[in-house]
């Protein structure tokens, strides 16, 4: 099992998962060139991808699709309503445009989308199962509901949004409408919300967590890490034993290989 977060944040998102021989990319929100280079740095060629899975239509999740898919003919799975919002759809080879319904099986990998609350037409997170292994991607969500906590429960690895520090956002330079959007129920998850979610779910020992989609303006990796660590410690968990935390980056590849 391998996870390589090629990029994470509002400037672009792309996460590579390999389970057994199956290789998928979740979101393609950086340029095709950056995706190819990121994959090459971990020994993978883009044409080896079995699928690309799209969480929602915001450009930081889809802007690399056009070139990447026309160049390498990779099947792309997105919700039907999401496809309607992706302007390059007509330019893609029709065999690559795949509608994501309830779940998906690719070789040994079982993929189940779950709904998230975000200001997009039909946004989803993903759970990936292979044998006893469970991986989760949950970013771009304004709140934690039962679908989200169920998805995170008993995961071996989770890529979880810790977008902002509420104080930094409130005191920062963003215009009021944008602050309200981010803080709202269809915006983004704060460090505290991410910490509480992790503290409250049923966990496997040694759960691996990447805090992701960190805001460059309204967060710092150290602040996200420390806030979540404090909440987990107060809840009685030992960092490094019960749960291992890392922060994903917007510009460098972050990897976990098991
Ligand atoms: Zn995003
Ligand atoms: Zn978004």
pLDDT tens track for 47-58:
999 999 999 999
Query: Mind giving me the DSSP string for 205-232?
Result: TTEEEEEES--SSS--HHHHHHHHHHHH
Report the side by side order of strands in the sheet with 2-7. Answer: 97-99, 76-78, 51-53, 22-26, 14-19, 2-7, 254-257
Instruction: Write out the residues surrounding ion ligand 1, Cβ under 5 A.
Output: 60, 140
| 32 CA → ligand 2 middle, Å | 19
| 205 CA → ligand 2 middle, Å | 31
In terms of Cβ atoms closer than 10 Å to its own Cβ (0-12, 13-18, 19+), residue 99 is exposed
| 60 CA → ligand 1 middle, Å | 5
Coil, helix or strand at residue 70: helix
Give the helix/strand (H/E) hosting 129.
Answer: strand 124-130
Domains in the chain, please, with CATH?
2-257 (3.60.15.10)
Tell me the average pLDDT of the chain: 97
| 103 CA → ligand 2 middle, Å | 21
Q: What's the pLDDT score for residue 227?
A: 98
User: Is 28:52 a contact under the CB 8 Å cutoff?
Assistant: yes
DSSP state of 109: E
pLDDT tens track for 133-177:
999 999 999 999 999 999 999 999 999 999 999 999 999 999 999
């Amino acid at each position: 099992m391998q996870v390589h977060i090629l990029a994470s944040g509002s400037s672009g998102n792309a996460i590579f998962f390999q389970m057994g021989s199956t290789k998928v990319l979740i979101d393609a929100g950086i340029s095709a060139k950056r995706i190819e280079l990121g994959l090459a740095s971990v020994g993978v060629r883009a044409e080896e991808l079995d699928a690309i899975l799209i969480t929602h239509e915001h450009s930081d999740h889809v802007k690399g699709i056009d070139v990447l898919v026309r160049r390498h003919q990779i099947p792309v799975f997105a919700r039907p309503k999401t496809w309607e919002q992706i302007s390059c759809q007509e330019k893609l080879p029709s065999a690559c445009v795949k509608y994501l319904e309830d779940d998906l099986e690719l070789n040994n990998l079982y993929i189940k989308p779950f709904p998230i609350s975000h200001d997009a037409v039909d946004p989803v997170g993903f759970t990936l199962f292979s044998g006893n292994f469970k991986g989760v991607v949950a970013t771009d969500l304004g709140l934690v509901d039962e679908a989200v906590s169920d998805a995170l429960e008993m995961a071996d690895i989770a890529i979880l949004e810790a977008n902002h520090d509420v104080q930094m956002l409130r005191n920062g330079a963003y215009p009021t409408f944008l602050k309200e959007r981010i803080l709202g129920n269809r915006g983004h998850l704060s460090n505290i919300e991410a910490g509480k979610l992790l503290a409250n779910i049923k966990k496997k020992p040694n759960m691996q967590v990447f805090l992701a989609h960190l805001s460059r303006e309204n967060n710092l990796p150290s602040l996200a890490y420390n806030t979540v660590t404090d909440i987990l410690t107060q809840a009685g968990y030992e960092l490094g034993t019960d749960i291992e935390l890392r922060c994903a980056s917007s510009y460098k590849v972050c990897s976990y290989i098991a």
